[in-house]
């Protein structure tokens, strides 16, 4: 294990994601929590599911006590190289195609609502014109 000043990449930290070797990234620091897995009040699965990413939000969402925060110091093995941690991106929906195929039936219905009465009117005029000329 390194000293607290050692800097790790997220890829290096991600290699430690099993029960016998578990590291977490919280608030820019890297923690080897392997020895704490069995004692963690939330269970080891919670810690294991937080590996391979910046687990700061997961940690903060739970609302850990000041005692829990103080305990973290003994598990600290270094710092994370923040340039290796992807920044969270906001969800952007995919661009819609210019021609929306889902609207096609709606378009056809509107077109028919226009053309059918026009066709009936045309037939009525045609029939009237034909019957008057004979």
Task: Work out the pLDDT band at 4, boundaries 50, 70, 90.
Answer: very low
Average pLDDT, stretch 87-98? 66
Sequence-ordered list of residues with C-beta below 8 angstroms from that of 32, at least 6 positions apart, any chain = 1, 16, 22, 23, 75, 77
pLDDT for position 48? 94
Strand ranges of the sheet holding 76-80, from the earlier edge strand across to the other edge = 7-8, 76-80, 29-32, 21-26, 17-18
pLDDT surpasses 70 at 89 = no
pLDDT for position 101? 57
pLDDT surpasses 80 at 54 = yes
Sequence-ordered list of residues with C-beta below 8 angstroms from that of 8, at least 6 positions apart, any chain = 2, 30, 77, 78, 79, 80, 81
pLDDT for position 75? 96
pLDDT for position 3? 47
pLDDT for position 104? 64
Among candidate residues 33, 39, 41, 29, the one with its CA nearest the CA of residue 17: 33
Task: Work out the pLDDT band at 38, boundaries 50, 70, 90.
Answer: very high
pLDDT for position 128? 86
DSSP-assigned states of every residue in the chain: ---TT-EE-HHHHHT-EETTEEEEEETTEEEE-GGGGGG-TT-HHHHHTTTTSB-HHHHHHHT--HHHHHHGGGGEEEEE-GGGSPPP----PPPPPSS-GGGHHHHHHHHHHHHHHHHHHHHHHHHHHHHHH-
86 vs 37 pLDDT, higher one: 37
- Whole-number average pLDDT of the chain: 86
């Amino acid at each position: 294990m390194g000293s607290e000043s050692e800097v790790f990449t997220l890829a290096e930290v991600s290699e430690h994601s099993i029960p016998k070797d578990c590291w977490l990234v919280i608030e820019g620091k890297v923690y080897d929590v392997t020895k704490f897995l069995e004692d963690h009040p939330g269970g080891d699965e919670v810690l294991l599911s937080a590996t391979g990413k910046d687990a700061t939000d997961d940690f903060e969402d739970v609302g850990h006590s000041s005692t829990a925060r103080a305990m973290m110091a003994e598990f600290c093995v270094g710092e994370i190289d923040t340039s290796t941690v992807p920044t969270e991106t906001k969800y952007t929906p995919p661009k819609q195609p210019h021609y929306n195929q889902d609207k096609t039936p709606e378009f056809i219905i509107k077109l028919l609502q226009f053309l059918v009465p026009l066709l009936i009117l045309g037939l009525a005029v045609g029939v009237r014109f034909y019957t008057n000329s004979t």
